Amino acid sequence: MIAGPWVSVWARRGKNYAEAFGIEIPRTFDWRVPTWGHAKEVLAIRIKRHAGVPNPDGKLDGDYRKIVGKFITKWEPKIVDARQGKNGFAYNASGSWGGKRSLDGLYLVGHYTGGMGSLQNDAAYHVNGQGWRNLSYHFAVDREGTLYWSNDCDDLTWHARGFNSKGIGISFVGTDDGPTDAQKRTLKWFIDEAFSKGIPFLGVPKLTKGTVHGDSPYSTSCPGTYGRIFYETTMGKFFTRNP
Ligand SMILES: [Zn+2]
């Protein structure tokens, strides 16, 4: 958490105090207000004084309160745009993919890469070995916890045979041993955000269902022993076995 300086604003009593700070949230509390939407800030608010302080016209007015607050930057992972050949990722505009689709009712599908190679190498294999357009997952996380955004969620790509039309694929570089602590932090951030409100700045809709690759129609060991446990635990009530 990185806190900015304390700033003060005037707000009419009963007004949404966060609104007074110029951010949009559904309701207000008197201390520490998380934001919704794509804003990166969390607003901490302390009501310094209550009624009887001068209003902006200089008059004592019980309807006004002086609100003191500060913006706190919420943690989010380092994010790298890996779409359309950016940042060293292989891409072939005429490679195979399924086109654009609706964002309604999609599942988050958990994968692992099944190896320790770089995501750039995986992308090169998907493009040159498989004939696909690019790295076929929508998102992937390297060993250090950096999140790579390789496809938009409305891109129908090939990551879970028989389930691609319903799935948004997220993967981590790793084996049966499961994700590193840094990967877990990033994956948990992604999953929590996606299932609570979506991630608008990454084009991720609010999701209500998740599963893992191994539970899609064609049997596979992906995402490995500990990867499966991690995804199932983190998705919690949204996890669906054999959807
Ligand atoms: Zn998989």
Residues 49-105: tens digit of each pLDDT? 444 445 555 555 555 556 666 555 567 899 999 999 999 999 999 999 999 999 999
pTM beyond 0.85: the answer is no
**Gap from CA of 162 to ligand 1 centroid (Å):** 12
Q: Distance between CA atoms of 45 and 36, rounded to whole angstroms?
A: 16
Q: What one-character DSSP code corresponds to residue 108?
A: E
> Thinking of the domain 79-238, which architecture would CATH place it in?
3-Layer(aba) Sandwich (3.40)
Q: Distance between CA atoms of 172 and 185, rounded to whole angstroms?
A: 12
- CA angle 219/187/184 to nearest 5° reads 100
**Gap from CA of 172 to ligand 1 centroid (Å):** 10
Instruction: From 86, 62, 81, 150, select the one nearest 113 (Cα to Cα).
Output: 150
> What confidence tier does 47 reach under pLDDT thresholds 50, 70, 90?
very low
What are the CA-CA distances from residue 178 to residues 58, 66, 115, 146, 221 (Å)?
Answer: 61, 50, 11, 16, 12
What are the CA-CA distances from residue 80 to residues 2, 86, 107, 124, 157 (Å)?
Answer: 21, 9, 23, 17, 19
When the pLDDT of each residue in the chain is averaged and rounded to a whole number, the result is: 82
Q: Distance between CA atoms of 161 and 235, rounded to whole angstroms?
A: 21
**Gap from CA of 240 to ligand 1 centroid (Å):** 16
Q: Distance between CA atoms of 65 and 53, rounded to whole angstroms?
A: 7
> What confidence tier does 18 reach under pLDDT thresholds 50, 70, 90?
low
**Gap from CA of 212 to ligand 1 centroid (Å):** 8
Which pLDDT score is estimated for 24? 43
The radius of gyration of the chain from alpha carbons, rounded to an integer in Å, stands at 22
**Gap from CA of 228 to ligand 1 centroid (Å):** 11
- Domains of the chain, residue spans: 2-74, 79-238
Contacts of 176 (CB under 8 A, 6+ apart): 221, 224, 225, 226, 227
Q: Which residue has the higher pLDDT, 193 or 25?
A: 193
Predicted confidence (pLDDT) per residue in 161-205, tens digit: 999 999 999 999 999 999 999 999 999 999 999 999 899 889 999
Q: Distance between CA atoms of 197 and 107, rounded to whole angstroms?
A: 14
Q: Distance between CA atoms of 34 and 98, rounded to whole angstroms?
A: 38
What are the CA-CA distances from residue 110 to residues 1, 92, 167 (Å)?
Answer: 28, 25, 9
**Gap from CA of 224 to ligand 1 centroid (Å):** 9
**Gap from CA of 135 to ligand 1 centroid (Å):** 12
Which pLDDT score is estimated for 162? 93
* Greatest CA separation for the chain: 74
